[in-house]
Structure 1
Amino acid sequence: MNARPLPFFVYGTLRPGEANHDRFLRGRILREEPALLGGAVLHHGPGYPYAVPEPGGRVTGELVTARPEAYAGLLAELDRLEEFRPGDPHNLYERVARDVVRATDGAPVHAWVYLAAPAVTARLRAGGRLVEGGDWRARRP
């Protein structure tokens, strides 16, 4: 793991106004900023999206900076939510450090991103349904 805490890039149910935002983030964050993740696309999941690496793709979301005193607990809770356990081949997501671009000023920011785990990625590439435009909020059922 990195020596310093990283912000989180959220693109699905953790975004403001979505089902898990208040449950996990309320009172635990310093700020949220619009951001973009390059090199990935979104796929529909069962009520939530999966970001899948894809050259030329783009995913819209928010860069979330945790309060220092809440960081460790939030990281652990988000890992549980995303069903990420280091080294587990049955993960739904992998937590990886990636550069995202802050929309307000175009600055790159290193952040944690939950990407679809390899087995999920293979399944989605074989027959998943894309979220057109890479924005979960603008999705069509």
Structure 2
Amino acid sequence: MILPFFVYGTLRPGERNHDLFLRGRTLGEEPGRLRGVTLYEGPGYPYAVEEPDGAVSGELVTALPEAYPGLLTALDRLEEYVPGDPRNLYERVVKEVVRDADRAVVRAWVYVAAPAVAARLRARGTPVGGGEWRERR
């Protein structure tokens, strides 16, 4: 399934992984908002944890068609995501994201905290106020 990606942490423009993974591989990057998740501090990167009252800011990234397969593989590797692996830190799931420019709802891949990580963060993690990773400092 070819979908855009919703990025909310180190893959956003200006963050450390943006240029390493996305530069030259995208058709566009547009601000958006994902509802139903809360952002939590991680060890140098955030986790989006599924929670009904939360919302997270980020970008919808549309990959160049020819770059899509390689980008999907690279992002899965970055997020240490292997389908079905119980050791995953993240799960790649399809979510509906609201594009800021026109309020259109777009289905996108999002890396959310895997169940064990999410449970740990809900119990004793530190939420990122306002769901905006850039404002955590």
SS of corresponding position for 2:29: strand
Q: Distance in 1 between matches of 2:47 and 2:5?
A: 15
After superposition, the CA RMSD in angstroms is 0.5
Partner of 2:64: 67
Partner of 2:80: 83
- Structure 1: unaligned runs, 5 residues or longer: none
Deviation at 1:56, TM superposition (A): 1.6
- Superposition map of 1:38-53 within 5 A: 38-53=35-50
1:117 to 90, 114, 118: 114
Letter in 1 for 2:27: L
TM-score, reference length from structure 1: 0.96
Letter in 2 for 1:32: E
Tell me, yes or no, if structure 1 residue 36 matches structure 2 residue 50: no
TM-score, reference length from structure 2: 0.99
2:132 to 132, 135, 140: 135
% same residue: 71
Structure 1 stretches (4+) deviating beyond 2 angstroms? none
- Structure 2: unaligned runs, 5 residues or longer: none
Please list the CA deviations of residues 13-52 of structure 1 after superposition, one character each: whole Å capped at 9, or x if unmatched.
0000000000000000000000000000100000000000
How many residues end up aligned between the 2 structures? 137
2:97 to 86, 90, 100: 100
Q: Distance in 1 between matches of 2:124 and 2:70?
A: 36
SS of corresponding position for 1:87: coil
- Superposition map of 1:1-20 within 5 A: 2=1, 5-20=2-17
Q: Distance in 1 between matches of 2:125 and 2:3?
A: 30
